[in-house]
Amino acid sequence: MLRQLTTLLHNVVDTRIYFMHTDNTTTKKFPVEDFKKYLHLFFIDIINLSQTNNIQAFENREAGYTKAMLNAYNYAFNDSLTDGLSPEIICGIHAQALAHQPNCHPGQLKNSPNFFTVGLAELRTPDGRILQPINPNGSQQGFEEFLKFWFVDKQNPFHYIHFKPTNLSGQEVFLYPFNSKLKKGLSVIFQQRQFFGVTSKTEDYFPNATGFNKLFASLLTNTEYKCFINILENKLLPASGNRLSIQKLMKKELKDLCNSYNEAVSKAGTNDEQILRIIVQHVKLLNQLHPFADGNCRTFYILLNRLLAKNNLPLCLIIDPNRLEMLSTDEALEVVKKGQKDYLALMNNEKPSIVDTLNSTQLEIDIEPMELPASPPAIDSFVAIIEENLLSLKSNNDDQNSKIGTHIEPQFSFLHQLNSEQYHHERLMTKAKKLCGDNENFIPLLNAIDKKDYSLALRKASSVVNLPLLKLILSYQEKLKIDVNLPSSNGYTALDWVMKSNSPKKDIEEATAMLRKFEALSSDEITNKISITKADF
C-alpha cells in the first residue's frame, strides 16, 4: 500500500507530497511475519550497526535500555496527552527513557553545565575527500544558524563554544557572546599553554565580520581541534540583574521553545511542508538547548516522531539522531525526509537502504532482523503506535482519492483490519483500560465498552466528567458510529450528565465544549427540536 501511496501522491499537486521520493534501486523484501524483528531500528543509533553493534549491545551496556525506550515511546504517544508541545511532555519522555539510569536524574532538568560534542560533516582533505569524524553532527551552515539564534538574536545569551586542540601545546579558542546596549557579537579568547602558565588574549567580533568569518572557517576545517558546546555560568544574568539557576534557565527556555512551536504550527494550518520544517527546526533547537544532564538525543528523537504523528506525517528512522544537533535546518530537514522514506519502505516490508551520505565512502549499512529484548505487551503497544500512524496516512491519502477518483487497497499485512469495527473496538478497549487502571469505579464503563454499548460508556464518562476518557471515547465516535445523544433510561443524554455533575466548573465547561463539537444535545434541546419539527410538518 505504501509504495502505491508514494507513487500516487507523486502525481498530486499538493503539499503532502514533500516526504515522498521514489527511486529505481533494488529493494530487499523480508517476510511479513518478521516485521517486529526490525523495530530495533527505532531504538538504536542505526549508524552503530556499521560497527556490528546490535540492540543487545545497548542492553548489555545499559541494562533496561530497550524497556525504557519502549516505555518512552508508549508514553509519548499516549492519547491523554495534548496535541501541542509542553515542558511536561518533554520531561515525561525523558523520565521514561532514562528510567533505567536513576543517576541521570530521569525527568529532571539539569542544574549544572554539561557540554555536547560537535563533529563536522564538511571536513575535507586538501584533495576534496570528506573526512569521517567520529560523530558528524554539524556543518558550517549549522554553526552559523546556531550563532545567530543563540548568540546574536538572543536577548541574554548563555552558550559558549570551546575549540580544544588535540595537541596539548596547541592554542585553545573560546567563543563567548557579549552584549551591550549598542552592540551584539562575539568575544573570542585565545589561550596558549606555555611552560610557565597560560597566556590569553581577547578579540571582539561582530556578525558577518570578515575577520571572524575567516577565523571561524579555519577552526571548523581544522582537524586538530575538537569542538564542545556548553553553558556559561557567569553569563546567566537577565536584564533584571537577578541570577538564574541553570535549572530555572532551562525551564524558561524550554517553555519559550514549546510556545514558539505551538504558535508556529497553529499559523502553518495544513501546510505539511511548513509544519515539517517547524518540527525539525524546534527539535534541533531543543537539542542545542541540551536541557538534561544525559539522554537529550534519545528524548528529542522520540519527541520528533511524536510530533510527526500528531501532525499526521510519517514517522522516521534516522541514521544518527545526533545529526539533529548542529546541522542547518535545511540539512536536518533532508535527514528527516530520508528517515521518513526509510520508514515507509519498512512499512512495505522492504529492508530500508540506509546509506550514510556524510561518509566519504557512502557507507551502506546492512539491516538485519533482531529480536527485541522486551516484553510482548510492550512491543505490541509500540506496533499499535505504528498502526495508528499508518491509519492516519491512509486517511489523508483517502482524502486525496476523493479528489482524483482512485482507491488504494492496503498491502501490508496488519493494515488489512485497520478499518474494521473489531479493530477499533479492541483499540478503544485497550486504551480505556490503560486510563482506568485499577480503579473499580470504572468497571461499569469498561463493561459497557466490552459489550459495545459505547453510548452507555460515554454517559458514564460524562457523569463523572472524566476528561481523558471523554476525549478517548469521542475520538472513536465516527469509527464506531457512537450515538452521542442516545439517552439513558431516565432520559438523560451525555450532555445532561455533564451539566448535572458536581465537578469543577472548568471541567464541566471543557467537557461541554468537547461534546458540542460532536453535536451533542441535552434532553430538553432534543425535545424542543422534535416539537419544532412536528410544528413545521
pLDDT per position as a tens digit, 60-80: 888 888 899 999 999 998 766
Query: Do 272 and 358 have their domain in common?
Result: yes
Query: Do 382 and 300 have their domain in common?
Result: yes
Which CATH number characterizes residue 70's domain? Answer: 1.10.3290
Query: In this structure, are strands 197-205 and 184-194 parallel, antiparallel, or unpaired?
Result: antiparallel
Higher local confidence (pLDDT), 146 or 171: 146
Q: How high is the pLDDT of residue 530?
A: 63
Confidence label for 374 from pLDDT (cuts 50, 70 and 90): confident
Number of domains in the chain: 3
Instruction: Report which listed range, 87-91, 407-411, 434-438, is most confident.
Output: 87-91
Confidence label for 206 from pLDDT (cuts 50, 70 and 90): low
Of 170, 201, 235, which residue constitutes the final position of a domain? 235
Helix and strand counts by DSSP (H, E) for the chain: 18, 11
CB 344 within 8 A of CB 316: no
Report the mean per-residue pLDDT for the chain. Answer: 79
Q: How far is CA 125 from the centre of its chain?
A: 36
Query: Do 382 and 268 have their domain in common?
Result: yes
Least confident segment among 164-168, 183-187, 221-225, 412-416: 412-416
Average pLDDT over residues 315-328: 90
Query: Do 257 and 369 have their domain in common?
Result: yes
The predicted model scores a pTM of 0.72
pLDDT at 449 over 90: yes
Domain hosting residue 357, numbered range: 2-109+245-386
Higher local confidence (pLDDT), 473 or 167: 473
pLDDT at 217 over 90: no
Query: Do 105 and 122 have their domain in common?
Result: no
Query: Do 123 and 67 have their domain in common?
Result: no
Quickly count: other Cβ atoms within 10 Å of residue 128's Cβ: 7
Least confident segment among 224-233, 386-395, 407-416, 510-519: 407-416
pLDDT at 6 over 60: no
Query: In this structure, are strands 354-355 and 197-205 parallel, antiparallel, or unpaired?
Result: unpaired
Query: Do 294 and 368 have their domain in common?
Result: yes
Of 366, 386, 406, which residue constitutes the final position of a domain? 386
Query: Do 378 and 249 have their domain in common?
Result: yes
The C-alpha cell 581541534 sits at 225
Query: Do 224 and 281 have their domain in common?
Result: no
Of 215, 235, 255, which residue constitutes the final position of a domain? 235
Average pLDDT over residues 452-460: 97
Query: Do 255 and 323 have their domain in common?
Result: yes
Query: Do 268 and 283 have their domain in common?
Result: yes
Query: Do 95 and 13 have their domain in common?
Result: yes
